[in-house]
Structure 1
Amino acid sequence: MKFFIDTANLNDIEQAYDMGILDGVTTNPSLMAKENIVGEENIIAHYKKICDIVEDKVSAEVLSTDLEGMIKEGEMLAAISPKIVVKIPMIKDGLKAIKHFAKKGIRTNCTLIFSAGQALLAAKAGATYVSPFVGRLDDISQDGMVLIEEIKTIFDQYPEHLNTEILAASVRHSMHLLNCAKLGADVATCPLKVFEALLNHPLTDKGLAQFIKDAESMTAVVEA
């Protein structure tokens, strides 16, 4: 499974990259606004900074919802760096935009996927990634993992025709992440805190404390 970090915060991206676990970045307008990134020039400059940190796969979302606007914005974003993946919403014009970008060799991430049917449409249109939002489904008392399983089952039936990867989004905690991995999602995107939560285990803490204590005893013996 590939790990993407879901943020526009440069410090968080650098931390995940330095841990050696980072395969890409996903952003959205809300995350950019959280970092006070407003205005086209500032947005472009910020994406350039993100691309300077990571090796590839930086999802940058269009703001328009009409075909002409999405194509214009998407081509502008793709021109920033070959690392950019254009993020397109799951709407009819979005599918048309995905088809356009696929023909031009521009990678896309179809976002706001909440059903297997939507994922199938996006894959047929040529999306590089589909992003099912597992956490938001949980919020309305639906099991997001069922959606991941349904999409995986469908995509696996047609490996020669559907090359789209499943990018599990709205991943809120470590169990979300691990369950997506068990079900075979290609990618999970989540905040830094979710990755850091995987580091923690009480037996690791206990063992490390014992190792430190024993090391201090050994040092004391040597010095004596």
Structure 2
Amino acid sequence: MRPSSGSCPAHASPARAPGAAARRCARSEGVRRGRRELLGGSDRRTPVDNLVAIAGIGLTPLRPVSPDLSFRELVLEVCRLVPGPVSVEVTAVDPEGMVRQARELASWAPNVVVKIPVTAAGLEAISTVSKEGIKVNCTLCFSVNQCLLAARAGAAYVSPFVGRLDDVGQDGMTVVRDTVEIFKKYNIPTKVLAASIRHPLHVVAAAKAGADIATVPFKVLLQMVHHPLTDIGLSRFLEDWRAAGLELELPVGR
């Protein structure tokens, strides 16, 4: 890659170019690589990036996105780009470990929401950290009962997984719908986050079901933006405009 003004070469790393400046350069490139993987393969800010920043983002520590970027650095960069909640998941499976990790993750940035799975250990951890003011997104919910228990433990969000339930022959959206109905009936403040969204129709169904939030993959977000008739209509308008020989004159300086 050819570096432009103010950028770092793609191959720069502390090992090949020692010193504080080289480390900063490598971290900067690592951030760009991480951002490319998170936001659809481009390191240029596009209008779609603003859609990503509307509500928030979720991160699961499955694999490193760059050898020059630690998971903590990635989370901090995302928290800087996204003004809304950023859900970050624990990896411990025991309550003590979950609590320790939740406290650490929550200390990274004020908009971090800690993801904790809805297990017996997870519910114990949620009860502990929620009393400390740490916001929790209870993840891997597949039943209304799990959502109720998570809310009772103090979770700020519950995440019923729609697509994965559909995969095993169950109606995932029913869990969302029933959870929303019960939370409203009993004035439970926990927000319902529809997760495992596979396509735009899931988003519409989640909205109709009353979900507060939908976790939408970047690919689905793009599908929501685009419609073939919009493209055709815009193309025809521009053709008619050019055929008319008109120009849109704007005042100087605008």
Does the alignment reach a TM-score above 0.5? yes
Q: Deviations over 1:152-178 (max 9, x none)?
A: 11111111xx11000011001101111
Aligned to 2:22: none
Question: Is 1:215–2:241 an aligned residue pair?
Answer: yes
Q: Which ranges in structure 2 are unaligned for 5 or more consecutive residues?
A: 1-32, 40-44, 249-254
Which residue is 2:145 aligned to?
117
Q: CA deviation at 1:34?
A: 6.0
TM-score when scaled to structure 2? 0.77
RCO comparison, higher one (Cα < 8 Å, 6+)? 1
1:94 aligned residue: 122
Larger radius of gyration: 2
Query: Structure 1: which amino acid aligns with 2:59?
Result: T
- Which residue is 1:28 aligned to? 60
2:201 counterpart of 1:175: yes
Preserved CA contact (<8 Å) 1:17 1:54: no
Q: 1:134 to 1:66 in 2, by over 3 A?
A: same
Q: Which moved more, 1:192-201 or 1:110-119?
A: 192-201
Q: What residue number does 2:167 align with?
A: 139
Cα–Cα, structure 1 residues 59 and 19, in superposed 2: closer, same or farther, change >3 Å?
Answer: closer
**Which residue identity does 2:58 align to in structure 1?**
T
| CA pair 20-146 structure 1, distance change in 2 beyond 3 A | closer
Secondary structure at the residue paired with 1:29?
coil
C-alpha distance in structure 2 between counterparts of 1:197 and 1:128, whole Å? 29
**SS, match of residue 192 in structure 2:** strand
Instruction: Give the letter aligned to residue 109 of structure 1.
Output: N
**Secondary structure at the residue paired with 1:86?**
strand
User: Residue 88 of structure 2: SS of its match in structure 1?
Assistant: strand
Shift of 1:20: 6.8
Asked if residue 199 in structure 1 is aligned to residue 231 in structure 2, the reply is no
Letter matched to residue 35 of structure 1: V
Read off the aligned partner of 1:146 and give its amino acid letter.
T
1:191 is displaced (CA, Å) by 1.0
For residues 109 and 245 of structure 2, the distance between their equivalents in structure 1, rounded to whole angstroms, comes to: 52
The question of whether the paired residues in 2 share the 8 Å contact of 1:37 and 1:43 is answered with no
| Among 175, 182, 190, the residue aligned to 1:164 | 190
Query: How far off its partner does 1:22 sit?
Result: 2.3
Q: CA, structure 1 residues 82+198, in 2 after alignment: closer, same or farther (shift >3 Å)? A: same
User: Alignment partner of 1:198: what SS?
Assistant: helix
How many residues in Structure 1 have an aligned counterpart in Structure 2? 209
Is residue 90–residue 102 contact of structure 2 (8 Å, CA) maintained in 1? yes
Q: What letter corresponds to residue 80 of structure 1 in structure 2? A: W
**SS of 1:106 mapped into structure 2:** coil
Q: Matches of 1:182 and 1:46 in 2, distance apart?
A: 34
The 1:217–1:90 alpha-carbon spacing in structure 2 relative to 1, beyond 3 Å, is: same
| Identity within the alignment, % | 41
Structure 1 unaligned residues grouped into runs of 5+: 1-7
Within 1, Cα distance between the matches of 2:53 and 2:239? 30
Measure the CA separation in 1 of the matches of 2:124 and 2:151: 12
Task: Report what 1:5 is aligned to.
Answer: none
Q: TM-score, normalised by structure 1?
A: 0.86
Query: Structure 1, residues 184-219: CA drift from partner, whole Å, max 9, x if none?
Result: 100001211111111222321221111010111123
Which residue in the other structure is 2:9 paired with? none
Residue 21 of structure 1, CA deviation: 5.9
Aligned to 1:17: 49
Return structure 1 stretches of 4+ with deviation > 6 angstroms: none
Deviations for 1:71-100, whole angstroms, at most 9, x for unmatched residues?
Answer: 111111001011100100101111111111
Distance 2:242 2:181 in 1: 54
Deviation at 1:221, TM superposition (A): 9.3
